[in-house]
Amino acid sequence: MGGRLVEGTWYAEGYEPDADGRFVRQSSLFRDWTRDAAGERFRPEAGRYHLYVSLACPWAHRTLIMRSLRGLQDALPVSVVHPDMLDDGWEFREYPGSSADPVLGARYMREIYQAADARFTGRVTVPALWDTREKTIVNNESREILRMLDHAWQGVARRPAPDYAPAALQDSIEATLDAIYEPVNNGVYKCGFAQSQEAYEEAADELFAALAHWDEVLAGQRFLCGDQLTEADICLYTTLIRFDAVYAVHFKCSQNRIVDYPHLWNYLRDLYQRPGFGDTTNMDHIRRHYYVSHPFINPTQHIARMPAIDFMAPHDRDRLPERRRQGAA
């Protein structure tokens, strides 16, 4: 369930819907950029920054995939919160796959936000990119952290190439990221957190129309923006991989499963089987987080069984051309 800081003080609270019961996601509030140029305030440097994530969270997962694709594991350490997010919000507590906070020794994620801004007002979210030198959060918006690790961190990356948002595709990538955000990435939350039947129906209509559309697109091309893997694929992956195990049940995204879409399902397996995707996916954190953390929609907090799906089964995507690029894992 989580909560909010108001002028630096924590209040456990759920999500405030709009007048028609729709879920409204807060905009991220730390929006500085790391840039690799002389005189920049936040220059990428090995060991200077720290990434706070949850393995359950699809937004944080985007940044973990790029960190892995770029080979930034040594240069950019991470702390992984406990999967449960209840009255105290995200917490650093012992659990398989979770880790402590070596930077501030915090018990709760909110302490990181309080350390960045003692009078912070807003929800305490992951991912968050912390600067150990200036002792502040540089950025807490996944799409921007993803872009920074892609474009500004090559100097400290073990794999500086390829570019996952190359100039020739940048407009198409931005348009695709925008197009999948509301109906799909945020759409599953809008289904799950809708507080009126109408708000739910509206979100479900948009979600399943978008999935049908992208299934059709992927019938004829390997990736969302053509024959190269881009940031757009990373951003769709983190929603698709959670869909059948969690969103279909917990968020009532029940009309179809991803395994029912021939192209989306093969595409999902293709991505899962690549370095950086399956190996950053933790189904235990994912399932436990959602089913336990929202008692207002799952009061028993029982964790639904993992459906019998095999992400490692062979896929049919090799029939579609892929442009192999220098440095690709």
Ligand X SMILES: N[C@@H](CCC(=O)N[C@@H](CS)C(=O)NCC(=O)O)C(=O)O
Binding site for ligand X (CB under 6 A): 2, 28, 57, 59, 89, 123-127, 140-142
Phi, psi of 310 (to 5 degrees): -115, 100
Q: Minimal CB distance to ligand X: which residue? A: 2
- Judged by CB, which is closer to ligand X: 141, or 231? 141
Q: Which residues pair with 79 in a beta bridge?
A: 52
The answer to whether 57 is a known catalytic residue is yes
> Which tokens go with 80?
């992984």
The answer to whether 235 is a known catalytic residue is no
> Which tokens go with 31?
């929006």
- Judged by CB, which is closer to ligand X: 12, or 212? 12
Out of 52, 57, 253, 267, the active site residue is 57
- Judged by CB, which is closer to ligand X: 142, or 228? 142
Could you tell me the sign of the dihedral formed by the alpha carbons of 100, 102, 105, 109, in that order?
negative
Secondary structure (3-state) at 129: strand
Cβ-Cβ contacts under 8 Å for 36 (sequence gap 6 or more): 43, 44, 152, 153, 154, 155
- Judged by CB, which is closer to ligand X: 13, or 198? 13
C-beta of residue 14 within 8 angstroms of C-beta of residue 296: yes
CB 76 to ligand X: min, Å: 16
C-beta of residue 235 within 8 angstroms of C-beta of residue 177: yes
Q: How many CB atoms lie within 10 A of CB 277?
A: 25
Out of 189, 247, 261, 290, the active site residue is 189
C-beta of residue 28 within 8 angstroms of C-beta of residue 186: no
- Judged by CB, which is closer to ligand X: 141, or 233? 141
CB 224 to ligand X: min, Å: 18
Cβ-Cβ contacts under 8 Å for 311 (sequence gap 6 or more): 241, 268, 269, 272, 273, 278
Q: How many CA atoms are closer than 13 Å to the CA of 68, on its beta-carbon side?
A: 16
CB 161 to ligand X: min, Å: 25
C-beta of residue 59 within 8 angstroms of C-beta of residue 126: yes
C-beta of residue 188 within 8 angstroms of C-beta of residue 207: yes
What's the CA gap between 212 and 176, in Å, rounded?
15
- Judged by CB, which is closer to ligand X: 63, or 266? 63
CB 61 to ligand X: min, Å: 9
CB 200 to ligand X: min, Å: 19
CB 100 to ligand X: min, Å: 18
Positions marked active-site? 57, 189
